[in-house]
Structure 1
């Protein structure tokens, strides 16, 4: 590129120049012809003290800037650098507005040229990256970022990033560049100007698309290769001897350590498939369970010509299987295998809908940027799967417009050959392995039309989640925000959404359709009544919950179990509202049915856009039918077999109120609908047993021991040598003091232990409220200023991002709840201490827990020993498993809950984890042990 780009980064005393914040460092790097040609950096005397937190962040002190020039002295140099150039920065609005203020204060006009933002450019040029922070992008692109938060280092790395972005932009197909150019006017920086210049230069050359890309209806995308049929040997026997397995593993793993437990698991999986029996296999951490089931499943599928379905609970495990474990497996096997990842239809893009939306021009910022992301993503995606692309919240709203769905009307016929969803389904018909997740597997199970091909053999990894996941799919829900968004898609006539477009189409085809005209006012009135009744219905729902829950005003979120037998005024009002809402929706469905059926009765010529509109209206009608069905199940005719509850955010009850219902127990449904219909299902996890017994899991899943192979495979780790478990004896009983007193007591312990272990600590909570209080008390103490504190839901970021940041700092403390009890993997010295704040019992008033316990009691059982205790033990085992992830790991598990030794059931927790030394110590003894042992 012949343009001149000046990449700027500033360090400042704060982010409000109008309130007196000043510059403390200016840095600029000049890029010309794709190369760095000049650098300038200067410290700046702000004429005021640098705040402590800025000093910690940047490493710049008052002493360092004392003899530095004032900004007025370097302003002429700054303006000379910026003359006739693009102003570039990472998050340009901050740097530019701050610099403008400084220039104006120094008596200059300020910068008036074009600007580029490397955050914005990265978002649409690297649509699949999970973070656009400068240091994360630097790592991803292999750039050396020595001193983050110092202007000269930040500016240099941003300049290197800009060069990469410009090259990436230049190498895009011309058609894609033209489409990006049309959309770029909606961006915040001057990408449109940059693309103007690029397209002028490109016009001088004749472009041929690379073989990997193809163009269809004006959109360039990665070519759809027809993979050749694999020739599979008729039958290669399973390697029953350990030596044979070892030889295969050595082909894939150069530093392979023999694990007898892994061989034991392989044989158990193969035997279960061969004997057509179900299996529960608990494989301890480090067994290598993914290869432990993949290898025997591959041999069995090859021998019997049977597809094997692998289902996981999390997308992280799916990614690990696809990107790590299966490539290893392919090196090991003496035959080829085909693998398909299959998800629900809405995960895939509809290219026909995307083509249509590219013609729409009334876009907001998020929509413009997301369209640009999709255009560059299509050049590389082989799956068309939404999970690959990093969408903003506004981008997710746009995705709903372009997602694939199963409405009755077809998209443009020529797009059928490019349909990612149909392609995945077709590939699944001939695949050896179909990888999916529990939610899709269960959706497929309860849907009228199966999407998965016929299969008789299945592995459920992370199997301890299957029963809870199944509860949701045999249940139903009503969510205020979802319904409001659904109705807004149809919209009032004057809003020119589907309602307006549909009526325009009917008017255009009126003579052929022979439909009785309905005035738009009538339908508008109906929609108004539906919206009013929806608001009334959910207002009544929220009122019922807040009235029934004690101290609801002091809580941020409340849950209340709906019990029809109460016969209260509120319940009667709720049913009356529900009936009015139900019949109004029926009126709208009838209106849509009448009009949609008119199109199916006659042979009528429709454009592609009109077919897509009918597809959308039909999908909307189907969603309304589903809404009506859920209203009936939840409110009008609730089943005694179900437990229903209300979930309300007290801070915004109007926008976040949901009603849920699901079967109290789903053992019989799973048995009848799933396990009895499959020849062999292998359920595996690191946590399936309680006190070395599978009784709890068998009961929850509806399985019986006679038709099950039960296998416990111990971890190869030496827990006795690797772990010390400590139960402090100088903390109060958790239920004997107030929450504030308990938080104060544990915070003192956490601070002392953190100083002894130098951080590297994960703290698991069962309550977000207690996590938040502890985090703020740790911060306020001022005793952990050298440590990086990260709190789930407080410091921001996903679980993956928090975990990655935790590993990046030497002295880090991570506070987590719910999802942090499992699935995070922090091997080595990054994690040396795990604190479990309290035993993870579900609250007894939690609706599902309460209903399950009531049912067990009604049947003459013991709710605590049959449900509450085993459920807590399974979760405790998951939490305990976070610490030791390899044979080299060593560390401490500290459990603050004294019930481990003061109650009879406490032993059950200790009997369910690997045998480790248990120490009951006060804080000083604990610190001595840490010092000696570490």
Structure 2
């Protein structure tokens, strides 16, 4: 049998199997990455690997993962941040890998249970539809029943309409009512679970991985026996892991749990046909108590901070605990009904409803107690017709909370992304996750940035903290757009500034035949990106979500304009508490957290431009702090070296050298 190293050579060498694929070009960085992944898997060690755009990292980790999993009878978990990458891996890259490895294997995408239709719960809902649903909802239920007879996977994403939450929550898989003992082999979630157990490769998202990981007690594996995990898009791990292992409860969730039993307004629910008025009154009482409690939370937040919709809570019992007793009384009453219920169907649903009430009661109590000093507690208020209120907790230090369990001995965690390093080092990423024992590797870029990219720096632009910045920036953006005749992605850090500049420039741009696309909430991100790709005479103004995950090769995107360096405002409770923790440990919150986070986001933004070896274009930075502040050097040295131009007061550009610029 060939060794793993021989397999990698046969596939990734200049004359290997990959070289016979259409449009393939040999990349030594891809082979180096495949060798590093193979070595980590064989040695059951951990690896952090930065693979710049164009390396072909998906195949460089998939092929070694499949070869190792098949040979050693192990399971490969591949976790991504975005749905787009999951789909690309499953529909394209897995099939290419299959043609290369010479082994048969099985791969699946696995999602959270609430994405799947449970056929047992569907049958239960159909039997109880008169007491659970109004006419419109009953119509949706029948459409779901028809779909259940033709769908292959029962995934709500493939449902030909968007069901209301009140209906889908009654038929999706749920702990307690959907299990291998209760459901037969035709239940879609049980089928998906079985397929994941049998698969060689399981693809999922980071959020699901860490949610399941937090529930897993076994020390010798992550989610499946003898598994290993590869995190692609690993730059998001700290934020996603923190929320995944944290907890949240909202007004809407508590009301759903109550209304599942009985909704006083619609007179629907599991107890709708129950003769006792007492139980229905307890539901009404719990509903009133829920609204009163969360309104008190909302008023307390408004009193502490008039404008902010997110507030850190530092004081236990900052509002009165008025919710536990009504929920306890309701739970006790449900237990009585459950004991008397003869129908197993109704009994199972009552047990599940009682569990939800109990969970809500426990989460509210834990939030008010604030008994765990390692957690950050905060409230979020949502706007809109129904003002929801969320109580959230998450670990202040992800490294302290997950590192011992995640980076265990005897298995492998492989983390990769195009942007993980700061100033040529992966130490910051290691420290934030606590991955101190992981080997680190930064691959060279396959692109020739000296020929493909220019960097233009707005030396004469007023800095963002200067009152003149807001008035001046529209003209500087207009001049920059004119230099490339459109074809530009303009990245903002403030929705206010984005709207103001869009209002100021829309008429001028459109009079010159340049269509302005704006991320203003009216059009989805996906639709905006599609229009931008298809119209080479357009400009796109984007916020946070456009700094990463945007792939527009070719002439539609030849210019990325960064309006200001992406420093996060420390107004989110988690950011605030993490900075306080650094200060308590005698660190420098700006140098040790704020700056590295901004550099990584900056690198993501710059990375939107060059997506292939044939792409060319320019990056314009309109934040003059990159030249005037000492930390600007860290930003400049974290992106590929390329020709540099400086913008003078008249908007004219003149050439400069990196050494000269970095010393300004």
State the distance in 2 between where 1:620 and 1:438 align. 28
Shift of the 622–774 alpha-carbon distance from structure 1 to 2, 3 Å rule, reads farther
**Alignment-derived partner of residue 789 in structure 1:** 516
- The answer (yes or no) to whether the contact 2:259–2:283 under 8 Å persists in 1 is no
SS of corresponding position for 2:24: coil
**Alignment-derived partner of residue 291 in structure 2:** 535
Shift of the 241–859 alpha-carbon distance from structure 1 to 2, 3 Å rule, reads closer
- The answer (yes or no) to whether the contact 1:377–1:389 under 8 Å persists in 2 is no
State the distance in 2 between where 1:366 and 1:755 align. 53
2:551 corresponds to which of 816, 825, 841: 825
**Alignment-derived partner of residue 660 in structure 2:** none
1:624 corresponds to which of 357, 369, 386: 357
Distance apart, 1:671 and its partner CA: 1.6
1:560 corresponds to which of 285, 308, 311: 311
State the distance in 2 between where 1:793 and 1:538 align. 30
Shift of the 425–235 alpha-carbon distance from structure 1 to 2, 3 Å rule, reads farther
1:484 aligns with 2:252: no
SS of corresponding position for 2:6: coil
- The answer (yes or no) to whether the contact 2:115–2:156 under 8 Å persists in 1 is yes
Equivalences for residues 349-748 of structure 1 within 5 A: 349-355=117-123, 360=129, 368=139, 371-372=142-143, 375-376=146-147, 379=150, 381-389=151-159, 391-392=161-162, 394-408=163-177, 416-447=184-215, 452-492=223-263, 495-501=266-272, 503=274, 519-520=276-277, 522-549=278-305, 552=307, 558-564=309-315, 572=318, 574=319, 576=320, 579-597=321-339, 606=343, 611-649=344-382, 655-676=387-408, 679-704=411-436, 707-737=437-467, 742-748=469-475
State the distance in 2 between where 1:863 and 1:363 align. 54
Distance apart, 1:892 and its partner CA: 1.2
Shift of the 906–249 alpha-carbon distance from structure 1 to 2, 3 Å rule, reads farther
State the distance in 2 between where 1:390 and 1:907 align. 52
**Alignment-derived partner of residue 10 in structure 1:** none
1:291 aligns with 2:42: no
State the distance in 2 between where 1:367 and 1:801 align. 32
- The answer (yes or no) to whether the contact 1:409–1:612 under 8 Å persists in 2 is no
**Alignment-derived partner of residue 770 in structure 1:** 497
State the distance in 2 between where 1:308 and 1:888 align. 34
- The answer (yes or no) to whether the contact 1:269–1:682 under 8 Å persists in 2 is yes
Shift of the 770–483 alpha-carbon distance from structure 1 to 2, 3 Å rule, reads farther
- The answer (yes or no) to whether the contact 1:425–1:452 under 8 Å persists in 2 is no
State the distance in 1 between where 2:177 and 2:145 align. 26
Distance apart, 1:925 and its partner CA: 4.6
State the distance in 1 between where 2:18 and 2:117 align. 40
- The answer (yes or no) to whether the contact 1:252–1:329 under 8 Å persists in 2 is no
- The answer (yes or no) to whether the contact 1:378–1:384 under 8 Å persists in 2 is no
**Alignment-derived partner of residue 150 in structure 1:** none
SS of corresponding position for 1:823: coil
- The answer (yes or no) to whether the contact 1:725–1:916 under 8 Å persists in 2 is yes
Shift of the 674–721 alpha-carbon distance from structure 1 to 2, 3 Å rule, reads same
Distance apart, 1:742 and its partner CA: 3.4
- The answer (yes or no) to whether the contact 2:231–2:413 under 8 Å persists in 1 is yes
TM-score norm. by structure 2 comes to 0.91
Distance apart, 1:357 and its partner CA: 5.0
SS of corresponding position for 2:608: coil
1:85-113 alpha-carbon deviations (Å, 9 max, x no partner): xxxxxxxxxxxxxxxxxxxxxxxxxxxxx
**Alignment-derived partner of residue 806 in structure 1:** 532
Shift of the 395–793 alpha-carbon distance from structure 1 to 2, 3 Å rule, reads farther
Higher relative contact order (CA 8 A, sep 6+): 2
**Alignment-derived partner of residue 659 in structure 2:** none
SS of corresponding position for 1:885: coil
**Alignment-derived partner of residue 476 in structure 2:** 749
Distance apart, 1:448 and its partner CA: 5.5
Distance apart, 1:484 and its partner CA: 2.6
Equivalences for residues 131-530 of structure 1 within 5 A: 237-239=4-6, 242=9, 244-246=11-13, 247-250=15-18, 253-355=21-123, 360=129, 368=139, 371-372=142-143, 375-376=146-147, 379=150, 381-389=151-159, 391-392=161-162, 394-408=163-177, 416-447=184-215, 452-492=223-263, 495-501=266-272, 503=274, 519-520=276-277, 522-530=278-286
- The answer (yes or no) to whether the contact 2:548–2:605 under 8 Å persists in 1 is yes
Q: Which blocks of at least 5 consecutive residues in structure 2 are unaligned?
A: 656-664
State the distance in 2 between where 1:325 and 1:626 align. 41
TM-score norm. by structure 1 comes to 0.65
State the distance in 1 between where 2:457 and 2:145 align. 52
State the distance in 2 between where 1:899 and 1:643 align. 32
Moved more, 359-368 or 903-912: 359-368
Kindly tell me the number of residue pairs found equivalent between the two proteins. Answer: 648
Equivalences for residues 844-923 of structure 1 within 5 A: 844-922=570-648
- The answer (yes or no) to whether the contact 1:753–1:927 under 8 Å persists in 2 is no
State the distance in 2 between where 1:827 and 1:474 align. 36
State the distance in 2 between where 1:326 and 1:647 align. 40
State the distance in 2 between where 1:817 and 1:495 align. 41
State the distance in 2 between where 1:771 and 1:825 align. 21
State the distance in 2 between where 1:370 and 1:928 align. 66
Shift of the 754–624 alpha-carbon distance from structure 1 to 2, 3 Å rule, reads same
1:872-918 alpha-carbon deviations (Å, 9 max, x no partner): 11111111111110001111111111111111111111111111223
State the distance in 1 between where 2:69 and 2:63 align. 10
Distance apart, 1:749 and its partner CA: 2.2
